[in-house]
Chain A
Amino acid sequence: MHAKPFRIGTVCLAALIPGMLIAVVLFLALYSWPAIQFNGVGFLFRTTWNLGNLYADPVMVRGMQVPIHAQYGILVFIVGTLATSAIALLIAIPVSLGVAIFIAEGAPPHLRPTLSLIVELLAVVPSVVYGLWGIAVLVPLIAHYIAPALNAVLGFIPFFAGGSPTGFGLLSASLVLTLMVVPIITATVYSALLQVARPDKEAAYALGAMKFEVAVRAMLPMVRGSIVGAVILGLGRALGETMAVLMVSGGAINYLPHTITTPISTMASFIVSQLDSAEQDPTGMAVRSLAEIALVLFIITVIVNVIARMITRGLHVGLASRA
């Protein structure tokens, strides 16, 4: 008798989350529908974003009222989003694993709680703080030291050549994202490493493994699932990060990055930077196109997550067949 209301209650609460997800997607799709019709598939492949002349009379294009010269293409922002996140993860994953192993195994035991607390504190620093630090410290550092050094050492690869007169761009955005992602991955992996059973570690030592080998060859494979989960969490933060990226990315529009120091824009930061002007579009097409960016960002996030999950499954299968 008593179980029933409880059961109904929990089912309702459980349904709330997928329900909200569907509601958000549905809203985005419905709201951006006129933009989807107007922009077509080219939306994803064009590099020109032009709100058009908001002060002239709107014109009819394909049966829709739009500002004259309006054209919306987001390839630049898709590339910016994926490139910053990829570079950030490329740096963050080894760093985070190293830090997590150090705190769990290398650090003196009485320091571990303090160190893990510091990592967790870093994970909750508001992104605008990272952005300010990026502008004040990182950007000049890149302009004066890092970009010239990259040019000197790796300049024979075009991607690293050219230096950076300003410091704003792909590299600064990626490094700020790295800093935001490292605490997330570190904290998750560290708590997983704590769960590794003592007999398992002792078995590895008994086989003659050094401390480093125990950590890398015995413990890390055991927490493989947690590592992938942590990376997905970090990736989610990197893909959707708005303010910090906006502040240090150089806000590029209409061209693709060709070196690691080229200014870029990401999808999330671009939505924020354009919203105020888009509000002035009397036809509303600009705001609807921004909603379409949000929809595309959502789809990309889902695809990336699915791929990551498939990789984990592949890992498990691969290991199983080896055994």
Chain B
Amino acid sequence: MQTRASETLLRRTFLLGTIGGTTLGLIALDPRQAAAANVTLLETGSSLLYPLFNLWVPKYTAMHPGLRITTQSTGSGTGIAQAVSGVAQIGASDAYMSFGQLKKSPGILNIPLAISAQTVNYNVPGLNDKNLKLSGPVLAGIYGGKITKWNDPEIVKINAGLTLPDHGITPIHRTDGSGDTFIFTQYLSFSTPAWGNGVGYGTTVSWPPVQGGIGAIGNPGMVQACGQTPHSIAYIGVSFHDQIAKAGLGTAPLQNRAGNFVLPTPATVGAAAGALEGKTPPDERISLIYAPGANSYPIINYEYAIVNSKQASPEIAAAVRDFLTWAVDPSGGNAPEFLDAVKFLPLTPKIADLSKRQIAKIG
């Protein structure tokens, strides 16, 4: 435990400079820390969860004087690593931890806080309001370099009635590590065995070389690159719905496991979540991608808080427990006043209950 923590710290000192150290220093120097009633928590990680935490924290800390919660948008991988090393009390991640990571860090909990979805967006002049249909195998073909033109027979076949241009496709992927890449490549892997056996899935994958394909940084970078590049395609977190609309991008109905093409709406995202609710294990590490059901939207996921079940002190543990319990409660952080702004869906009652059971383990 000690050596792992110090090794992670060493890594961080070297590669991330003094970010972690500074944060630690700030917490340690905070004079209010001395009083037992005052607790400072650090939340760091997923840039998709960051806006939600920023809605939660002011409301929650206003109700709990003496508690301070600092939020940071650093990326899911950093969120997990800092929750494990103890720098952060709450790590935010779009992806659940692997068995390998858990084996290395037993006692780390993966707690769903809300349900998110992802849209596949395109910029094909004249067709952006036409809801061009796409499927997993077609997307795997585009991102794998086998489908290079918009009028490829594979795309024409599922879009009867649309006139598709004889123009090259520019697939845009995320350059930085991203939960969005994780769920997008899971959709490709689960729907297209060739992709699953070859490239596979992860927060970063070894993208096949595609003529003209580019990488972009963050969801804002994806929206901007897709918006200013005609004939491009990108995958973007649903929280960016407003920016996507402003950039005038088209949103593709995606083919689900049942073979139907569905757009992401509260109904289709809810249907997918409902379909896998019963399969969610007590540790809640499960992919919600490519869920069964005629009306299920295929790219949705739990947004996770990564938390060490053993916190530094009973006061900190209690503060984390109380905050997370409030966050997953339908009358607390899962209320529409918070989730609607970022286009997330609340946890279903059964999943909220599983999350609360995990939260109770924090000590």
Report which A residues bind B (CB closer than 8 A): 27, 31, 48-51, 53-58, 67, 69, 135, 139-140, 143, 165-169, 246-247, 250-255, 263, 265, 271-280, 282-284, 287, 290-291
Report which B residues bind A (CB closer than 8 A): 7, 10-11, 14-16, 74-78, 80-81, 95, 97-101, 103-104, 168, 170, 173, 175-178, 200-209, 212-217, 221, 224-225, 228-232
Nearest B residue to A243, CB-CB = B217
Cα separation A252 to B229 with both chains bound (whole Å): 17
Task: Give, as a whole number of angstroms, the nearest-CB distance from B164 to chain A.
Answer: 17
CB–CB A168/B101 < 8 A: no
Cα separation A167 to B231 with both chains bound (whole Å): 13
Contacting residues, chain A, for B81 (C-beta < 8 A)? 279-280
CB–CB B77/A250 < 8 A: no
Contacting residues, chain A, for B16 (C-beta < 8 A)? 275
CB–CB A254/B202 < 8 A: no
Task: Give, as a whole number of angstroms, the nearest-CB distance from A3 to chain B.
Answer: 37
Contacting residues, chain B, for A31 (C-beta < 8 A)? 10-11, 14
CB–CB A49/B206 < 8 A: yes
Q: Do A53 and B77 contact each other (CB < 8 Å), given the known contacts A166-B225, A252-B215?
A: no
A interface, by DSSP: helix, strand, loop or mixed?
A: loop
Task: Give, as a whole number of angstroms, the nearest-CB distance from B110 to chain A.
Answer: 13
CB–CB A282/B98 < 8 A: yes
Other-chain residue from A140, A252, A276, A291 in contact with B177 (beta carbon distance below 8 A): A276
Contacting residues, chain B, for A277 (C-beta < 8 A)? 77, 177, 202-204
CB–CB B77/A290 < 8 A: no
Among A67, A247, A275, A278: residue with most chain B CB under 10 A: A275
Task: Give, as a whole number of angstroms, the nearest-CB distance from B4 to chain A.
Answer: 10
Other-chain residue from B206, B215, B221 in contact with A263 (beta carbon distance below 8 A): B215
Cα separation A69 to B100 with both chains bound (whole Å): 15
Among A57, A69, A165: residue with most chain B CB under 10 A: A165
CB–CB A253/B215 < 8 A: yes
CB–CB A280/B203 < 8 A: yes
CB–CB A279/B100 < 8 A: no
Other-chain residue from A140, A169, A251, A276 in contact with B76 (beta carbon distance below 8 A): A276
Q: Do A50 and B98 contact each other (CB < 8 Å), given the known contacts A31-B14, A165-B170?
A: no
Contacting residues, chain A, for B97 (C-beta < 8 A)? 280
Among B97, B201, B217, B224: residue with most chain A CB under 10 A: B217
Contacting residues, chain A, for B212 (C-beta < 8 A)? 165-166
CB–CB B215/A250 < 8 A: yes
Nearest A residue to B15, CB-CB = A275
Q: Do A274 and B200 contact each other (CB < 8 Å), given the known contacts A49-B206, A166-B229, A283-B100?
A: no
Q: Do A135 and B224 contact each other (CB < 8 Å), given the known contacts A263-B215, A280-B77?
A: yes
Task: Give, as a whole number of angstroms, the nearest-CB distance from A56 to chain B.
Answer: 8
Contacting residues, chain B, for A275 (C-beta < 8 A)? 15-16, 77-78, 177
CB–CB B202/A246 < 8 A: no
CB–CB B100/A54 < 8 A: yes
Contacting residues, chain A, for B178 (C-beta < 8 A)? 276
Contacting residues, chain B, for A139 (C-beta < 8 A)? 228
CB–CB A291/B15 < 8 A: yes
Cα separation A255 to B203 with both chains bound (whole Å): 20
Contacting residues, chain A, for B206 (C-beta < 8 A)? 48-51, 253-254
Task: Give, as a whole number of angstroms, the nearest-CB distance from A129 to chain B.
Answer: 15
CB–CB B231/A165 < 8 A: yes
Contacting residues, chain B, for A140 (C-beta < 8 A)? 228
A sample of 9 inter-chain contacts (CB < 8 A) reads A53-B200, A166-B232, A254-B208, A263-B213, A263-B215, A271-B15, A276-B203, A276-B204, A282-B103
Cα separation A287 to B170 with both chains bound (whole Å): 30
Cα separation A58 to B221 with both chains bound (whole Å): 33
Other-chain residue from B95, B101, B170, B201 in contact with A282 (beta carbon distance below 8 A): B101
CB–CB A290/B15 < 8 A: yes
CB–CB A273/B209 < 8 A: no
CB–CB A282/B15 < 8 A: no
CB–CB B213/A274 < 8 A: no
Nearest A residue to B202, CB-CB = A54
Give the top 5 A-B pairs by smallest Cβ distance, nearest first: A251-B215, A251-B175, A276-B177, A277-B177, A50-B206
Cα separation A154 to B80 with both chains bound (whole Å): 50
Q: What 10 additional pairs, Cβ within 8 angstroms, besides A58-B100, A265-B175, A276-B178?
A: A135-B224, A166-B170, A166-B225, A250-B214, A253-B207, A265-B215, A276-B76, A276-B78, A277-B77, A279-B80
Contacting residues, chain B, for A48 (C-beta < 8 A)? 206
Contacting residues, chain A, for B229 (C-beta < 8 A)? 143, 165-167
Q: Do A251 and B80 contact each other (CB < 8 Å), given the known contacts A53-B200, A69-B200, A165-B229?
A: no
Contacting residues, chain B, for A250 (C-beta < 8 A)? 214-215
Q: Do A280 and B170 contact each other (CB < 8 Å), given the known contacts A55-B202, A139-B228?
A: no
Among A140, A166, A287, A291: residue with most chain B CB under 10 A: A166
Nearest B residue to A274, CB-CB = B204
Cα separation A246 to B11 with both chains bound (whole Å): 22
CB–CB A251/B216 < 8 A: yes
CB–CB B175/A273 < 8 A: yes
Contacting residues, chain B, for A169 (C-beta < 8 A)? 214
Contacting residues, chain A, for B175 (C-beta < 8 A)? 246, 251, 265, 273
CB–CB A278/B200 < 8 A: no
Contacting residues, chain B, for A287 (C-beta < 8 A)? 11, 15
Contacting residues, chain A, for B225 (C-beta < 8 A)? 166, 168
Cα separation A247 to B221 with both chains bound (whole Å): 8
Cα separation A277 to B179 with both chains bound (whole Å): 10
CB–CB B207/A254 < 8 A: yes
Q: Do A57 and B100 contact each other (CB < 8 Å), given the known contacts A165-B229, A276-B75?
A: yes
Among B80, B100, B176: residue with most chain A CB under 10 A: B100
Contacting residues, chain B, for A168 (C-beta < 8 A)? 214-216, 225
Contacting residues, chain B, for A56 (C-beta < 8 A)? 98, 100
Other-chain residue from A55, A135, A290 in contact with B98 (beta carbon distance below 8 A): A55
CB–CB B80/A246 < 8 A: no
